[in-house]
Amino acid sequence: MWRPPGARKHGLPQATWPTAEEAAGSALFAPIRVGPMVLAQRTWVPAMVPWRASEDGEVTDHVVDWYRRLAQGRPGALVVEATGIRDVPSGPLLRIGADRFLPGLRRLVAAVREASGGRTRLLIQLIDFLAIRRRPLPEKFFYRFFAVDEGHRERLAEALDEPAWLQAPEAAVRARLAIADPDLVGRVLQVRELRDLNYGYRETVSDTHLPHIAELPQVLPPLFAAAAVRARAAGFDGVELHYAHAYTMAGFLSRLNQRGDGYGGSPQARQRLPLEVYRAVRGAVGRDFVVGCRFLGDEVVDAGSRIDDATCHGVAFAQAGMDFLSVSKGGKFEDARQPKVGQAAYPYTGRSGYECMPTVYSDPTGPFGRNVHLSAAVRRAVRANGCDTPVVAAGGIHLFRQAESILGAGHADIVALARQALADPDWFEKVRTGHGAEVRRCHYTNYCEALDQQHREVTCQLWDKPDPDDPSPRSRDGRRRLIPPPWRPEVADRQPVADPNPASDADPPRE
């Protein structure tokens, strides 16, 4: 895992927790309106892929158990993991690209409603992503994927000072390059070919020579809209359009987007497809269903987007009518570590990945609330342009007073806790009811993220060691428990305050 140069280990800050009375009077536990819904509190569990879906992208019992357990902590909002909008095989990534996924998704929704007593609003993150392949063996690359042209022959002839290569048959060029040392390969291949060889083939939104990339602006709006309609039919309160990290829509927003078809280049051209997707979704689901997006405050890669791009995008999204803006950071392929042969590059292994999920091995800024300046800047710009769209901040947020000061300073309207909610899903109820001292505090060392990277069931080192007689469900290797242990304070303390969305508790799934 990448660490900032000269990183040192930061200790967890001292925690002081509120009494139940203090919590009741706090900004954090005050309701907030998000488009057509009201959150009972300004807390949010952002999307986290736990790798529990079936190979066909279906909701499994383990998926339902996972979200039920998160919902027992009763956060204001819970966002279900990145869920694929296409009906194409994508491994154990949850999918919503066809109606056959609806029964499973309905089960998930029902479990969350029941476990949270109807208090947690439920969104689902909708994702599209482009093709990426594993890093090939050099022989495989040169014999199967490499297209030999005159330029290769010329550079090979020059590098070896052997003019005969100018006329060499294709098979001979392949065979020679397959056994070439890295220096020679570097002199013969184009930049993109080198990347495909050393990191694995990966498409970007700028690859408009590929017909399926050229037609993304026509294909994606109806796909996102259909997925959102399904989310609504399954009973979700809304959708989060995934415009962040290493995926298709973030690629359009990025300064690295070089498309020449009106969908790349200037900030307005880069926003064009994200806005068209939003309008298609809104048109399909109407105004009484929550539609917002997650996007990057900073890509943290060379020549990539910075906060100026993010504020411009945020204002455009808010003015278009999005119900919330969730700000993340980094998580890009461009600076990902070179994968081993046979593995695919992973967008959370370089500096931008570190900035997305910072650890305690950090620079002087440390990991706690590290990215709040980004949500603050987006919120300022959105407010300055006359919109009151709620802005969600994430990144190392885990303490009550920290959250209060973020809200009090106007740096965000809602705070998101990802790893802290994984370490202890009951954080929200414990803090709200004056049991903050019982919180199992995240160590921010990213054991969970390492599991995510290997596409293994995500668990937390603080609770996944089972006793031998523990009957709770285990990971595929049988070594880890899949669900955090229960927390049971006195029943009196768990009496909820009035529900801000009373009618929706018993809402049937909306068709």
Ligand X SMILES: Cc1cc2nc3c(=O)[nH]c(=O)nc-3n(C[C@H](O)[C@H](O)[C@H](O)COP(=O)(O)O)c2cc1C
Indicate whether 462 belongs to the interface with ligand SF4 (CB under 6 A).
Answer: yes
The site partner of 458 among ligand SF4, ligand X, none (C-beta below 5 to 8 Å per kind) is ligand X
From the list ligand X, ligand SF4, none, pick the one residue 461 interacts with, judged by a Cβ distance below 5 to 8 Å according to partner type: ligand SF4
Q: Is 294 in the site for ligand X (CB under 6 A)?
A: yes
Residue 274 is a binding residue for ligand X (CB under 6 A): no
Write b or e for each residue in 379-416: b if 16 or more Cβ atoms lie within 10 A of its Cβ, otherwise e: bebbeeeebebbbbbbbbbbbbbbbbebbeeebbbbbb
Angstrom distance (rounded) from CA 361 to CA 384? 36
Query: Nearest 5 degrees, angle CA 222-CA 226-CA 229?
Result: 140
Q: What is the DSSP string of 316-342?
A: HHHHHT-S-EEEEE---STTPPPPPTT
449 forms part of the interface with ligand X (CB under 6 A)? yes
Binding flag, residue 357, ligand X (CB under 6 A): yes
Kindly state the tokens that stand for 455: 């596409």
- Contact status: 422 vs ligand SF4 (CB under 6 A): yes
Residue type, 188: V
Cα 390 to Cα 33: distance, rounded to the nearest angstrom: 8
462 binds, among ligand X, ligand SF4, none (CB under 5 to 8 A by kind): ligand SF4
Nearer to ligand X, 68 or 419 (CB): 419
Query: Which two three-digit tokens encode residue 28?
Result: 């954090």
439 lines the binding site for ligand SF4 (CB under 6 A): no
Asked if residue 453 binds ligand SF4 (CB under 6 A), the reply is no
- Minimum CB distance to ligand X smaller for 138 or for 292: 292
The label of the residue with tokens 């046979």 reads 342
Site membership for ligand X, residue 351 (CB under 6 A) = no
Element (H, E) at 361: strand 361-362
Residue labelled with tokens 């990802």 = 418
DSSP per-residue letters across 121-171: EEEEEEE----B-PPPPHHHIIIII----HHHHHHHHHHHT-GGGGG--HH
Q: Which residues of 423-444 are buried (b: 16+ CB within 10 A; e: fewer)?
A: bbbbbbbbbbbbbbeebbebeb
Interface residue with ligand X, options 23, 37, 70, 82 (CB under 6 A): 82
- Is residue 423 involved in binding ligand SF4 (CB under 6 A)? yes
Q: What are phi and psi of 180, to 5 degrees?
A: -75, 155
Q: Phi, psi at residue 116, to the nearest 5°?
A: -95, 5
Q: Could you say whether residue 460 binds ligand SF4 (CB under 6 A)?
A: yes
423 binds, among ligand SF4, ligand X, none (CB under 5 to 8 A by kind): ligand SF4
User: Smallest distance, Å, CB 367 to ligand X?
Assistant: 7
Residue 442 in contact with ligand SF4, rule: CB under 6 A: yes
Q: Is 439 in the site for ligand X (CB under 6 A)?
A: no
What residues numbered 300-339 form the site for ligand X, per CB under 6 A? Answer: 328
Minimal distance in Å, beta carbon 370 to ligand X? Answer: 8
- Among 207, 452, 457, 464, which residue sits at the site for ligand X (rule: CB under 6 A)? 452
419 binds ligand SF4 (CB under 6 A): yes
Q: Are 349 and 452 in contact (CB under 8 A)?
A: no
- Per CB under 6 A, the list member of 29, 243, 368, 444 interacting with ligand SF4 is 444
Residue 464 Cβ vs ligand X, minimum distance, rounded to whole Å: 13
| CB environment 61-87: b (16+ within 10 A), e (fewer) | ebbbbbbbbbbbbbbbbbbbbbbbbbb
# residues contacting ligand X (CB under 6 A): 24
Q: Which residue is nearest to ligand X (CB)?
A: 418
Q: How far is the CB of 441 from ligand SF4 (least distance, A)?
A: 8
* Binding stretches for ligand SF4 (CB under 6 A): 419, 422-423, 442-448, 460-462
* Binding stretches for ligand X (CB under 6 A): 46-49, 81-82, 125, 244, 294, 328, 356-357, 394-397, 417-420, 448-449, 452, 458
